[in-house]
Structure 1
């Protein structure tokens, strides 16, 4: 049996829980304390007796290293912005800034021809900067308070990470009433588009495997190589973009959470994410790196089956719901397929049985491990990446 199916990383439930940057003991919330020095050891779950407060408690958010370079400050702090202090602080997070006029010119006045898409946060346009660089410009809706928080979180994360399988950040723009993020342009759109878009063509098996490997590498980097670690919290097919060579890049960090060393569990007061991708522990407000692993497992299931994360039951009674998550639908079929070696009930019929059997076995095993109900039974993303290493 594949090693991933028996992986169970031991985690001890903490007597002290972290809630959005503060500690909670016996459901009593108290102020957070200063950060400890950065540890070189692998992160572990905090474990303290219920009646004991640790000497040092990391906060759920850590400040970005500011640039001291005068040219940087002049570029980013050209004009003060008369907006709430919580948003003003974002200026310090940008590694480079753009004026609104620059971005208007780059997008030809944010024209319909350059329009790429719209989400709850706002709009995305393609643009070409004065130096010829092709970019994607995300413009937040000015009347959306939650989008302001997402803007801060996304600039915070993007300005501190760099990996070939993460969308590259170029800078941001802030005016009195506008917030924009400038990122790498990805010409081949999203994995969601290629699997579920309204077009007849679909991506072949080799491309699906390539996407899986790239996304796994990007996520493993966020979880285990970044200092501090980053939990994405909204991994889904629509947030995995592909470039002209179909290299996958993880995008959209508006819901990301920064985990200081020594913290592996945060209990959040607000639940965010996308239906069908949410790990079971989200219902209790828990945020773990292995919640991202679950969501990644759902993406693997989409690549294997071609189905959407929420599927319609063909037959349902008054006692059952007409919809079911892809993970719940697939879980028994994954076990059965790995036992008998027959993948017909799972594999996307559009592949016409054109795939490598061993590679399919490996991806099915990875998906089965990632969508385990208990986070303790799911593998670290570095182990998932290792499973794909030979491909």
Structure 2
């Protein structure tokens, strides 16, 4: 039986330090043609901006396929990816508690280095200091702007938003979601609010963008840990709100070979399930110039964006020599429509992450 996964995409509106407007919440099933608009259903989140248990659980409750080699459990771990194209870097805090009473964790805003989490990169953790992931709800809070000014600041010291900083409060992740033996990927997508002279911001940020509120979105998916024998397991997730459908292939130059990894991915969709087993270490070659990842928009015959595999690996903390058969990897494609270039945002980015960091 094919594995079915549901991706929960929560569209948020922000204004300075205010909470999110969850009037648009869309759950996209990874099987084709299933779209549930929770803003008009009984399962929609309430005005407090919390995802209810059914919505967040839907992104995690996968049906295991008949292939007994598929391993869908293991150590609990989460990965947070920065895919906001008009933010050079971000810092992340977490609130913990119950949905009606959330308080900032008394820890440094993450990551604690000088630059923050750069666009197109991610960090992973198995726990959060000061939080009980099994018993407490967790709520991510994203800070963009001059994030170098809050280096070394604790999250409980940032309730008053500093100057030149925008705070985005993401939805509540229910207790137990991050402690149930899954590898969870959370992606910050869409754009932060910004006053720009650009008549086509939608091709950068998505149709629901406004310069006053932005449209920062959290996409949530479980990354499969299939441990395929003699091959690498590969999945692709579209984290571009500005690209209606996209596909990705891998190309080797000598000899030339193109391998389709995913096709017709809408924003927030991860595929295939189970992961593709078409690539192995032996058919990657040894030179960085031999390997490309190429993005196609739906129905296009020529690629619209590409990245050296080595660059995509480097953004995910990997290298060509670190890849192993029997391991799983997730390729994140994020940012604006691949045809857009500009001085107020970063171009589309392709990053390879370990599915079991």
Do the two structures share a fold, i.e. TM-score over 0.5? Answer: no
TM-score by length of 1: 0.27
Q: Based on CA coordinates, which of the two structures has the bigger radius of gyration?
A: 1
TM-score by length of 2: 0.28
Structure with greater helix percent: 1
